[in-house]
Structure 1
Amino acid sequence: MMTISPSLISPDLSLADIPLEETLSLGVMASGSGSNFAVLAAAIAKKQLNARIPVLIYNNPDAKVKEKAADYNIPAVFLDHRQFNPREELDRAIVETFQEYGVKWVIMAGWMRIVTPVLLDAFPDRVINIHPSLLPSFKGVRAVEQALAAGVKVTGCTVHIARAEVDSGPILMQAVVPILPDDTATSLHERIQVQEHRIFPVAIALAAKLGL
């Protein structure tokens, strides 16, 4: 029986394959635990990724990501999305904050809000998102549960340039994760996250190298 390696990624690259001469200035947005944020911060600290994170923006007061930012001495700015209506007002505040900190690339590392052209137009082709499915399949929330319900045999994760349509835009990297017979949403999501952590910093470096 043919099997699919849980480490299959496309393109098959590592950070060592994509040296960057210019230091990237990354503004990160996150809503939850911040595991992908921590992966980026660690890669920078280890000098594997030539970048800096001058600021983190988070929108959930209970988000653990703010603690991870503190671990790396990265300023964290709280913007409560409930205080902004319409959502374009939140994005204006995000743009102002990022411009204040000299951000050049916007990284959505588990940002659980829909972004608008206000943000996308301020950083054209420089807003990067990560999503727990093989896009264009299973867009939107609960992508892992969608994959299980559909009965597909593989899923994975995608890093892409964000567009106004949710979970759309040019794909930078993907990693395949097989779905096991006894998988739950929790077990499958944990294995997807392993691959997210592998490809996220590489995809960001790739986007910069390609001049996107």
Structure 2
Amino acid sequence: MKKFAVFASGNGSNFEAIVTRLKEENWDASAALLVCDKPQAKVIERAEAFHIPSFAFEPKSYENKAAFEQAIIEQLRLHEVELIVLAGYMRLIGDTLLQAYGGKIINIHPSLLPAFPGIDAVGQAFRAGVKVAGITVHYVDEGMDTGPIIAQKAIEIDEHDTLETIEQRIHKLEHKWYPSVIKQLLGLNNRGEKA
């Protein structure tokens, strides 16, 4: 059985969408661990509801980034994690994690990269007046939203869309497509079985 970890910092709607799909489709895979850098985040409650162990840490309680990333690596190894899925994790991945899991960390970003990297991507796209927006799933490297692109999905924007409606549509796109990409990367077929 393939095992993956989800890293999140907030509400956890993408986390829930991923785990729900995994369970509904009975994947031959396990969300083995939630890693969260905000011990009070709602995503931890979601993990508890699914009986998924979590490693919640306070970055300030570690000497430096390398130290808390080493603590994360120990948890990942303990849970035999093969793939790291970032889902609203609001920290850049550092050298320590990249060296241990390079090529095995993916992220979802709410824009069609390379356009609008970083924070508030949907707001950036809305203010720019783009006619097409979307999501990108990409491998994580040392930059911010600069890793090789795995998949992109787009939506058309019309004059009636508001920032809020675009955000809602982007979230729906994320919840639909991120689990599909994860399943593909884990080498599972459409029914969630080993391919």
| TM-score normalised by length of structure 1 | 0.83
The equivalent position to 2:99 in structure 1, one of 103, 121, 132, is 121
The AA in structure 2 aligned to 1:65 is: V
Q: 1:150 to 1:190 in 2, by over 3 A?
A: same
For 1:94 and 1:191, the matched residues in 2 are separated by 33
For 1:85 and 1:158, the matched residues in 2 are separated by 33
What is the CA-CA distance between 1:161 and the residue it aligns to?
1.0
For 1:181 and 1:154, the matched residues in 2 are separated by 12
Task: Give runs of aligned pairs for residues 152-191 of structure 1, distance below 5 A.
Answer: 152-191=130-169
Task: Give runs of aligned pairs for residues 33-182 of structure 1, distance below 5 A.
Answer: 33-182=11-160
Q: 1:84 to 1:190 in 2, by over 3 A?
A: farther
For 2:59 and 2:37, the matched residues in 1 are separated by 6
Q: Find the counterpart in structure 2 of residue 3 from structure 1.
A: none
Q: Where do 5+ consecutive residues of structure 2 fail to align?
A: 189-195
The AA in structure 2 aligned to 1:153 is: K
For 2:78 and 2:112, the matched residues in 1 are separated by 35
8 Å contact kept, 1:174–1:199: no
For 2:134 and 2:144, the matched residues in 1 are separated by 17
What is the CA-CA distance between 1:137 and the residue it aligns to?
0.7
For 1:62 and 1:186, the matched residues in 2 are separated by 26
SS in 1 for 2:44: helix
For residues 125-160 of structure 1, the C-alpha deviation after alignment (integer angstroms, 9 at most, x for no partner) is 110101100111110111111111211111111111
For 1:189 and 1:80, the matched residues in 2 are separated by 29
Q: 1:90 to 1:181 in 2, by over 3 A?
A: farther
SS in 2 for 1:133: coil
The AA in structure 1 aligned to 2:175 is: H
Q: Which moved more, 1:128-137 or 1:87-96?
A: 87-96
Give the aligned length. Answer: 188
8 Å contact kept, 1:145–1:185: yes
The AA in structure 2 aligned to 1:209 is: G
Q: 1:185 to 1:87 in 2, by over 3 A?
A: farther
8 Å contact kept, 1:125–1:161: yes
